[in-house]
Amino acid sequence: MPETKVLTANLHEPDLHTIAVYERLGGYASARKAVLDMAPEEVLEQLEASGLRGRGGAGFSMGKKASFIPKGTMDKYLCCNADESEPGTFKDRLLMQKNPHQLVEGCIIGSIAAGANKAFIFIRGEYEIQAKILDAAVEEARVKGYLGEGIFGSKFDLDLVVHRGQGAYICGEESALLDGLEGKRGNPRLKPPFPANQGLYQGPTLINNVETLCNTPAIIEKGADWFQSMGVDKSTGTKLVSVSGNVQRPGNYEIELGTSVREIVYGLAGGPPEGREVKGFFPGGSSAPVLTADSLDLPYTFESMAEAGSMLGSGAIIVIDDSQPIVPLALRLAEFYRHESCGKCVPCREGTNWTVKTLERIEEGEATPMDLEIMADVQENIIGNCLCVLGDSMAMPIGSMIKHFRAEFEEHIEGARADKDREAVAAFGAGELAADDEAGPA
Amino acid sequence: MPDRRTFPLGWDAANDLDKDPGLVPDPAEVDVPEELRVAILAAMARYPDSRSATLPALASAQKVHGWCSPLALHQTAAVMQVTPAYLSSVATFYDMLRTEPIGDRYLFVCTSVACHLRDAKAVYEAIAQEARDQGLEGVDVREFECLGACDMAPMASVDGRYVGPLAQSDARELVSAVKEKRQVLPGRGLEDPGFRLPWSTSDA
C-alpha cells in the first residue's frame, strides 16, 4: 500500500505557507463553512462521527474530548499542543513548517467546536523557524479577518496566540503545558479536575495535538463518512508516521491506518541498512514499549499496537537493527527521562535516576544479575504511581526491553564484569600478583 | 563509585542569610533597556493573564543580556511586577534559558534515542573536541534531548537552524563556521531552499 496523502497532499506546492497559495488550493473554505453555515453542535457532531482520535499519544476521540467542554458563557480556551518533544517524532514540525495555515484553520474549527474565544499554540522553543512561520501565518489570517473580532464577518471572536516554550519535554503533557502557558514551571497537575473542566486560567480548555487539528478542515469539507472510509475499525483516517533510527530512508510518511508495519518500515522507509535485520522497534515514540521483529506484520492501528502490548502513541516508529546493543540504548533512553523528569513525584524522579545508575553499573561491569531484577522491580513501581505518565514512559519501554532481551542484558552484565576483572588484573600487574602469592600464608 | 554528576559552578555557595528576600522591584528604581521593556510589555499584552508572558519575557531578557543573569531577572521582574525569585524558579526549569554565562549563541547536538542509533554520540564528541581545539567561545555547545528532526539524524541546531545529517568529518567545518559567524553547512539546513534529505525523492 503506498502513501495516502491527505494532510500532506499539497506539501510540494511552492509557497504553501502563504495565505494566497493556501486559499487558492481551497484553504479556509472549511473554517468559513464551520463559522457561517454550521451550528457549533453540527461541527462537534461531524468531528465525533469521523472517529478522529488524538494524534499526540493518548489516542482519545477528538470529538468526544471537545464534547466534554461545558456549555455556558465562561471563558473557554483551545490549546494546540505543538510541543512535539517525543523522541522519534517530527511530524508536527513538517506540518507547521510547510502548511501553517492548515493548523490555523484547524484551530478555528476546534475553537468553534469547543466554544473557545481564545486559542493558543504552544510550540516548543527549539522550533524557532517553525514558530516564525506560524507567527507570520497568524498575522496573515488576522489581516484577512479570519482571526480577531467577528471572524469571517460573523459574531464569533477568536484570538490566536503562538506561545513559545523554552525547552522542556514535560510541557508536552497537557496539564504541564497549561502551567507553562500560565508562566510557571511546567509541573503536571493532579487530575481530576481534567482540563476540559478546569484548564487554562481555571477555565474549560480543549487541548489537541497539531496533527489532530490539521485533520479537522478536511473532515468539515468532505464529511465524517469520507474520513471513516479510510483506515480500519476504530482507527480511522490517515496517520503521518515519522520513521527514524536504522532505516535507509528516515522521514515522514502518511499512510492509511491499518497499513502493516512491515509495509511502512520496509516499503516506505527502505528497511534497515544492507545486510542488517530488524531487531526491534518502538511503534509510537520512545515512550512506547519495544516490540520485536515478530510484530512487523501487524496492522498499524491503535488497537493492534495495544494488543501487542505497546501503543501507537505519537505515530513515530524508531527502528533498531541487529547491530545495536540493547544496554547502551536503554541507558540513553533512561538518561533522557531522568533529565526530563520534573521532579514533582518521587517514583518518577527517583526511579529514573536509579534506572540510569543501574544501567551505568551494567555498562561498567559493576552489576550482578540481581541488579536486573531490582531494575525490573523499579519499573513496576513507577507505573501508575505518578501524576503524569512521564515515569511510565520510561518504565514501559525499559520493562519491555528487559522482557524481550533478558538474555542480552545478562550476557552484557557478565561480559562487562569479566572485562573489568581482566583490566584489574592487567593493571595490578602479573608480577605483583606473583609476589602476593609468595607473601601469603603457606 | 566515582561521582559522575557535575554540578554547576557555585551550586553550593552559601546564601547570604542576612540579606532581605528580594521583593517586587520598584519600576521607578530599575533601569531597563528600552527594547527589553517594549518586548516584555508587548508579550504581556498578548495574554489574558500577564504572568503568561513569563517565558517570552525571559527569552527576551536572555537575548539582551546573553543569559538570565541576576540583573536580567531583576529588570524583567520590575517590568512584570513579580519577584525575581519567581522568575528564577521558572528560568532554572527550562533548558533553553541559561542561568550561567556560557555564551549568547548555542550549538545543540541531538543525542537522543533516534540519533543515538545513528552514532550521534561520536558526532557530538567530534564537535566538542573541535570546539576545544579551535577555542570556540561564547557558544553554548552541548548534547541536547530530541530536537524533533530524527529524519536528518544525526543533527544539530545552530541558533535554531537545523543542520544534518552530520558525520564526524563535518565537525571541523561546522565549528569553524560557527566561530567565524558564517552560515553553517550551506544547503544542509532544514529551511534552505531546495533542501532535501540525501535519500529523498521530494522536497517534503
Q: Is pLDDT above 80 for A203? A: yes
**What does the alpha-carbon distance between residue A112 and residue A227 come to, in Å, rounded to a whole number?**
20
Tell me if A322 sits within 8 A of A277, measured CB to CB. yes
pTM of model > 0.90:
yes
Give the distance from CA B99 to its chain's centroid: 10
On whether the CB atoms of residues B115 and B153 are closer than 8 A, the answer is yes
Q: What is the ipTM of this complex?
A: 0.92
pLDDT given for residue A121 in this prediction: 98
* DSSP E strand boundaries for A312-405: 316-321
Query: B residues 124-163 near A, CB within 8 Å?
Result: 144-153, 157, 159-162
Name the band, by pLDDT with cuts 50, 70 and 90, for residue A442.
very low
Burial class (CB in 10 A: 0-12, 13-18, 19+), A237: buried
The pLDDT of residue A319: 98
The mean pLDDT value for A149-177 works out to 96
The pLDDT value recorded for residue B5 is 59
Whether the per-residue pLDDT at A53 is higher than 70: the answer is yes
Substitution target in A166, A326, A331 with the highest count of B β-carbons within 10 Å is A166
- Please report the pLDDT score of residue A430 as a whole number: 63
- Phi-psi map region of B16: left, alpha, beta (phi>0 left; psi -120 to 50 alpha): beta
What value does the mean pLDDT take over residues A11-31?
96
CA distance A15 to A87: 29
pLDDT digits (tens, 9 = 90+) for A367-416: 999 999 999 999 999 999 999 999 999 999 999 999 999 999 999 999 99
The Cα of B103 is separated from the nearest Cα of chain A by a number of Å equal to 17
Task: Take residue A127 and report the three cell numbers written for it.
Answer: 522550533
Percent of chain A with pLDDT strictly greater than 90: 94
A353, A336 contact by CB (below 8 A): no
Distance (Å) from the alpha carbon of A442 to chain B's nearest alpha carbon: 34
Phi, psi at A206, each rounded to 5°:
-100, 125
Residue A124 has pLDDT above 90, yes or no: yes
3-state secondary structure of A134: helix
Calculate how close chain A gets to B97, using CA atoms only, in Å.
7
Which of B1, B55, B99 would you mutate first to test chain A, the one with the most A CBs within 10 A?
A: B55
Residue in this structure with the C-alpha cell 471537545, named with its chain if needed: A66
In this model, does residue A439 exceed pLDDT 60?
no
A233 or A291: which carries more pLDDT confidence? A291
pLDDT digits (tens, 9 = 90+) for B78-130: 999 999 999 999 999 999 999 989 899 999 999 999 999 999 999 999 999 99
- Least reliable range by pLDDT among A83-92, A259-268, B6-15: B6-15
Provide the pLDDT for residue B1: 41
- Please indicate whether, in this complex, the C-beta atoms of B48 and A164 are within 8 angstroms of each other: no
Per-residue confidence band for B18, with pLDDT thresholds at 50, 70 and 90: confident
- Residue A67 pLDDT class (50, 70, 90 cuts): very high
**In sequence order, what DSSP letters do the residues of A33-68 get, joined into one string?**
IIIIIS-HHHHHHHHHHHT-B-SSSS--BHHHHHHT
| Whole-number pLDDT of residue B204 | 44
Label the pairing between strands A316-321 and A278-282.
Answer: antiparallel
Q: Which of residues 57-96 of B touch A (CB under 8 A)?
A: 58-59, 89-90, 93-96
Quickly list H helices, B92-189. Answer: 113-116, 120-133, 171-179
| B12 vs B154, more confident | B154
Confidence class for position A433, pLDDT limits 50, 70, 90: low
Nearest to A87 among B95, B113, B152 (CB): B113
Phi and psi at residue A314, to the nearest 5°: -90, 0
pLDDT at residue number A49: 96
Taking only the tens place, the pLDDT of each residue in B148-157 is 999 999 999 9
Per-residue pLDDT tens over the stretch A302-359 = 999 999 999 999 999 999 999 999 999 999 999 999 999 999 999 999 999 999 999 9
Residue B116 near chain A (CB below 8 Å): yes
Instruction: Choose the closest CB to A166 out of B55, B145, B190.
Output: B55
Assess whether pLDDT exceeds 60 at residue B4.
no
Pairwise CA distance, residues A104 & A144, whole Å: 13
pLDDT number for residue B12: 61
The helix/strand/coil state of A292 is: strand
Q: Distance (Å, rounded) from C-alpha A359 to C-alpha A381? A: 17
From the list B93, B113, B157, which residue is nearest A333 (CB)?
A: B113
Inter-chain residue contact A87 with B202, CB threshold 8 Å = no
Q: Answer yes or no: is pLDDT of B136 > 60.
A: yes
Looking at every residue in chain A, the average pLDDT score rounds to 95
What pLDDT digit, counting tens, does each position of B162-179 carry? 999 999 999 999 999 999
Q: State how far Cα A198 lies from the chain centre.
A: 24
Q: Which residues of A touch B117 (CB under 8 A)?
A: 244-246, 318-321, 324, 329
Please judge whether B93 and A90 are an interchain contact, meaning their C-beta atoms are less than 8 angstroms apart.
Answer: no
- Closest-approach residue (CA) in chain A for B62: A166
Contact across the interface for A89 and B55, Cβ inside 8 Å: no
**Residue B59: C-alpha distances to residues A179, A418, B39, B76, B88 (Å):** 17, 50, 10, 10, 13
Q: Chain A residue closest to B121 (CA)?
A: A332
The pLDDT of residue B182 = 95
The closest of A50, A156, A65 to A112, measured between CA atoms, is: A156
Distance from the Cα of A260 to chain B's closest Cα (Å) equals 21
CA A360, CA A357: separation in Å to the nearest integer?
5
Identify the pLDDT of residue A241.
97
Phi and psi dihedrals of A399, rounded to 5? Answer: -60, -40
